[in-house]
Structure 1
Amino acid sequence: MMASDGSGGGRRQGFTEIGGSACTLPGGATCEGPLPADHPVAVSIYLKPKSTDPAGSGDPFERRASLHRADIDALCAHASDHGLTVLEADPARRLVRLSGTAAQISEAFDTRLEAWSHDGHRFHANSRPLGVPDALHGVVESVLGLDTRAIAHSRIVRPRRSQPAGIEPNKLAQLYDFPSGATGSGVTVALIELGGGFRASDNNAAFKAMGLRPPTVLAVSVDGATNTPGGDADGEVALDIQVVGGVAPGARIAVYFAPNTDAGFADAISQAVHDRTNKPSVISISWGSAESSWSNQSVTTMNSVLADAAAAGVSVFAASGDSLATDGVDDGAAHVDFPASSPSAIGCGGTFLSLSGGAIARETVWNDDTGNGGGQDGGGTGGGISDLFPVPPFQQNANLPPSVNGGRKGRGVPDVAGNAAPGSGYAVVVDGQKQVVGGTSAVAPLWAGLTALINGRAAKPVGFLPDFLYAQPASAGLTVPITQGNNKPEGSSIGYDAGPGWNACTGLGRPNGQKLFDALTGSTGAIS
């Protein structure tokens, strides 16, 4: 990676630098010169969370909005002074979205915007750290959207060799002993999608094959992105919808389509958390990238919107990656996937299932490099120790291993796991074709669907599940530990071994559906 030039002749008088706003560009990127002055640019500006939430009755979102309203007004006034258009100003979300020309944005935030190319892709990015007026210093958390590179990849893996038979999502729910009588009725599950789209005909065919009525699926536009089927990301969208709907057939599914940028990703999560129409209590995220690929300010804001979700009682499940312990980064070190590594997200790792007579005969860490994935040569589960985040309170007693990157203690990824190997993959319908796919992409919606079943019967949404799961004794049997395998690339020592208790391949293990449902709903057995 190569850092952009942050010198720029010094900060303009009256402006203070936004910490962490320097843009790091990939090695080999070519600068094509300044972005044309009249090029349209949109940004998402997040304010720093306030340390306290005013107590009182009434709408909690409105109480939060009251904390930020004056700062939002000041930011909008700054935008107006520079001729920018306010697209959205939401104090409850701590968010202002602005649009203008490259020249106006550069002037308003004391930066330079340049056009770049890398590996055949063109994008624009800020070539020096951003600034805000001194009066707004300490108020603005981030200005996102100036770097228009794709921030994340979908965590879906297709078999590369033979095509396995595949497991329909509702059949996997049965294998994991999910409660047979719960449907998730009355619950909305949000899916975050950074590309692709869905077709009603695919949903109809997939749920007909499962013997289920198709669920209600809504497309929600974020920052102008829409349901646009016909691309490579369709497989991700189909997998997410069909897994959630197969597990929780009574739940409504709201699909938040957003641009694949740091601004789009954060805005989609924030919009879902604060959606007062659809009111999702569970969010599934099957997109991510290595921690090292994110800017400091984008990590900060992703973390803050995820913390907003946890504070609102919304569970957020995130795929932990499909490229073993390196997370696809070829630098001789281990990496974990973000946002799965956020201390406010629930990271989801992957396993490989061996079946016999329609039952689970063996379940191991998914690692195709070692043949622990059905021989499909399709990667393996991510997981490890974060390079960014310290050990969170809920993992203090989890006996986390030191990082293979020099022994650092940090946030352990993942928290939970489930079937992800393409060799024991999910039978889905994508663009009119039956396919079998895998990846930790499937595990996030699997757990989201189970949580929808629980939320449909519990007195209140379960919220941030790790606070509960890590506090339970192993004897409770709420998860099934995965003790065999590792996530090391072939011929490498970079990675982690499975074993008893929490491990950096599959976390606390895969769900023991009925027991977990009973523990969180107060039930005493299968419901009818």
Structure 2
Amino acid sequence: MRRTMRGLSAIVGFASFVLVLGGSLPAQASPAAPLQPGTTHACNQNVQAGYATCFALKRTDIKQAALAPNAAPSGLGPSDIKSAYKLGDGGSGQTVAIVDANDDPNAESDLAAYRKQFGLPECSTANGCFSKVNQNGQASPLPSPDSGWAGEISLDVDMVSAACPACKILLVEADSATIDNLGQSVNAAVSLGAKYVSNSYGGGEDGSEASYDSKYYSHPGVAVTASTGDSGYGASYPATGAGVTAVGGTSLTADGSSRGWSESAWSGAGSGCSTSVAKPSFQSSVDTGCDKRGEADVSAVADPNTGVAVYQTYGGNGWAVYGGTSASSPIIASVYALAGAPGASDSPNSYPYAHTDGLFDVTSGSNGSCSASQQCNAGPGWDGPTGLGTPNGTAAFAA
């Protein structure tokens, strides 16, 4: 019997207006709400066709560069993520790869500060847990630094640490935020042995999806996750990729329920139908309202109003609260790692469709208006903003 989580009725969220690449939102989409005061995009949103933007959102109304003795940073921490999604220990020996653009020169030291704060084991170059390479899989030369993408990187590696503290972290930094460079970075991650690759970036479809899929995002036996975006209803690539797990977003709040948490669809979570990627066979079991590939597949916390604690010093002053579907993608990649290696010839984005009883169904909330209600309104079963739901342990992500 599929477990249904009765979330709060539309926890107040907000949508960030993200410019899409090579096109516009579908005609039936309503415009996304303006970015709420007190929150900012980590990355430049005014990008050209063929480029991607990151989906990290930073709270600017919460300032806590230094913590008082014995104080905890604002935002959800590792114990919250593990509690909300019923995650146990595991992941030893598994490598989660993070693909981003440009270099964060403080990535390793910031990661150390985050893990020390929360009592997590060391993850460093010295002990073999952390490694950073360029898009060719080499330790040098690294790309030029960028303070915006550094925030994205901090968010990504901290979320892997939160969900899977025993996992190794491979950070692959693309020369720039073109889909070609980011895609080459995905290939480098896989060539270095990563079975779980998170991509917290995207842009609009432009008709090149089949080519990009075949060159970069089709890796049988590898769980490739991608964020669906922060601009509300409207599809994003590579989340719509045929071999990618599209990760939407929720608002997550502690409560007095038996689970201990309530979730609703976050108003900024991306969703919609691909214009070019064929409907995968595993989506034939659900009503997406799409003739082609629909997103999302699954989801996790993304609302900055219920955001996560992150430590960032390159372009930041230490502790901050972040959100966006950039948070949910590395969380889901890490849950795949906790679940164990995918089958060698499998497409792991099909796993949740075969194990829906391993998910919390998110049934309230919306990310806009649309002609097919399930594409923008949460409800029982599959819906666009949250997919099939959020992790209830790891069963839905196992081969």
- Please give the range of the TM-score, normalised by the shorter of the 2 chains: 0.7 to 0.9
For 1:484, the aligned partner's letter is: S
Kindly report which structure 2 residues correspond to 1:119-268, keeping only aligned pairs within 5 A, or say none.
Answer: 151-159=51-59, 161=61, 165-179=74-88, 181-182=89-90, 184-197=91-104, 198-215=106-123, 216-222=129-135, 226=142, 228-229=144-145, 231-258=147-174, 259-268=176-185
State how far apart, in whole Å, the 2-side matches of 1:26 and 1:460 are: 36
Q: CA deviation at 1:415?
A: 0.3
Paired positions, count: 334
SS at match of 1:272: helix
Residue 274 (structure 1) shift: 2.2
Q: Distance in 2 between matches of 1:271 and 1:381?
A: 28
For residue 365 of structure 2, give the secondary structure of its aligned residue in structure 1: coil
Q: Shift of the alpha carbon at 1:463?
A: 4.9
- TM-score, length-scaled by structure 1: 0.58
Structure 1: any 5+ residue segments left out of the alignment?
1-23, 28-118, 124-147, 326-334, 368-379, 403-408, 522-528
- Is 1:345 paired with 2:227? no
User: Counterpart in 2 of 1:486?
Assistant: 366
Report the Cα distance in structure 2 between the residues aligned to 1:386 and 1:516, rounded to whole angstroms: 24
Q: What code does the residue aligned with 1:468 have?
A: Y
Amino acid at match of 1:210: F
Separation (CA, whole Å) in 1 of partners of 2:330 and 2:283: 23
Letter in 2 for 1:438: G
Q: Is the 8 A contact 2:222 2:347 kept in 1?
A: yes
Structure 2 unaligned regions, length at least 5: 1-20, 25-43, 64-72, 124-128
Matched, 1:395 2:303: no
Shift of residue 467, structure 1, vs aligned partner = 2.2
1:274 alignment counterpart: 191
Is 1:187–1:252's contact at 8 Å kept on the other side of the alignment? yes
- Which residue of structure 1 aligns with residue 229 of structure 2? 321
**What amino acid does structure 2 have at the position aligned with 1:397?**
S
In the alignment, the residues of structure 1 paired with residue 224 and residue 343 of structure 2 have an alpha-carbon distance, to the nearest angstrom, of 16
Q: Flag the 1:304–1:26 CA change in 2: closer, same or farther, 3 A.
A: closer
Q: How far apart are residue 267 of structure 1 and its match?
A: 1.2
User: Would the alpha carbon gap of residues 347 and 26 (structure 1) be closer, same or farther in structure 2, given more than 3 Å must change?
Assistant: closer
Q: Is the 8 A contact 2:103 2:146 kept in 1?
A: yes
Once the two structures are superposed, residues 58-87 of structure 1 have per-residue CA deviations (whole angstroms, 9 ceiling, x without a partner) of: xxxxxxxxxxxxxxxxxxxxxxxxxxxxxx
Q: CA deviation at 1:213?
A: 1.7
SS of the aligned residue for 1:158 comes to: strand
- Three-state SS of the structure 2 residue aligned to 1:254 is strand
Residues 181-206 of structure 1: CA distance to partner in whole angstroms, max 9, x if unpaired? 32x11111111111241433211110
- Picking from 334, 343, 354, the partner of 2:253 is 354
Query: Matches of 2:342 and 2:249 in 1, distance apart?
Result: 30
Match of 2:198 among 257, 265, 284: 284
Q: Corresponding residue for 2:325?
A: 440
Q: 1:471 aligns with which of 354, 359, 367?
A: 354
Matches within 5 A, 1:507-518: 507-516=387-396
Partner in structure 2 of residue 101 of structure 1: none
Identify if the C-alpha distance between structure 1 residues 25 and 512 changes in structure 2 by more than 3 Å, giving closer, same or farther: closer
Matches within 5 A, 1:60-79: none
Residue deviations 1:117-136 (CA, integer Å, cap 9, x gap) = xx9x9x9xxxxxxxxxxxxx
Higher RCO (C-alpha 8 Å, min separation 6) = 2
CA distance in structure 2 between the partners assigned to 1:254 and 1:428 by the alignment:
18
Partner letter of residue 479 of structure 1? L
1:303 aligns with 2:213: yes
Asked if the contact 2:218–2:242 (Cα under 8 Å) also holds between the matched residues in 1, the reply is no
Question: Does the residue aligned with 1:342 lie in a helix, a strand or coil?
Answer: coil
Instruction: Call closer, same or farther: CA 1:162–1:221 in 2, change over 3 Å.
Output: closer
Alpha carbons 2:135, 2:182 under 8 Å: kept: no
SS at 2:330 equivalent: helix
Of residues 391-400 and 344-353 in structure 1, the stretch that sits farther from structure 2 once superposed is 391-400
Q: CA deviation at 1:268?
A: 1.1
Question: Given the alignment of the two structures, is residue 365 of structure 1 paired with residue 282 of structure 2, yes or no?
Answer: no
Q: SS of the counterpart of 1:507?
A: coil
Q: Contact between 1:206 and 1:242, CA under 8 Å: does it hold in 2? A: yes
Query: Computing the radius of gyration over CA atoms, which structure comes out larger, 1 or 2?
Result: 1
In the TM superposition, residue 210 of structure 1 has moved relative to its aligned partner by 1.3
How far residue 470 of structure 1 moved from its aligned partner, in angstroms, is 1.2
Aligned partner of residue 363 in structure 2, secondary structure: coil
CA displacement, residues 211-259 of structure 1 (integer Å, 9 cap, x when unaligned):
1123222111125762655511111101111111222122211111112
Cα distance change, pair 461–422 in 1 and its aligned pair in 2 (3 A): farther
For residue 385 of structure 2, what is the amino acid of its counterpart? C
Preserved contact between residue 81 and residue 162 of structure 2 (Cα < 8 Å):
no
Q: Report the RMSD for the aligned CA atoms in angstroms.
A: 3.1
Q: Which secondary structure state, in structure 1, belongs to the residue aligned with residue 354 of structure 2?
A: coil
Q: Secondary structure at the match of 2:115?
A: helix
- Give the Cα separation in 2 of the matches to 1:515 and 1:435: 32
Amino acid at match of 1:289: G
Q: How does 1:28-43 map to 2 (within 5 A)?
A: none
Q: Is the 8 A contact 2:95 2:169 kept in 1?
A: yes
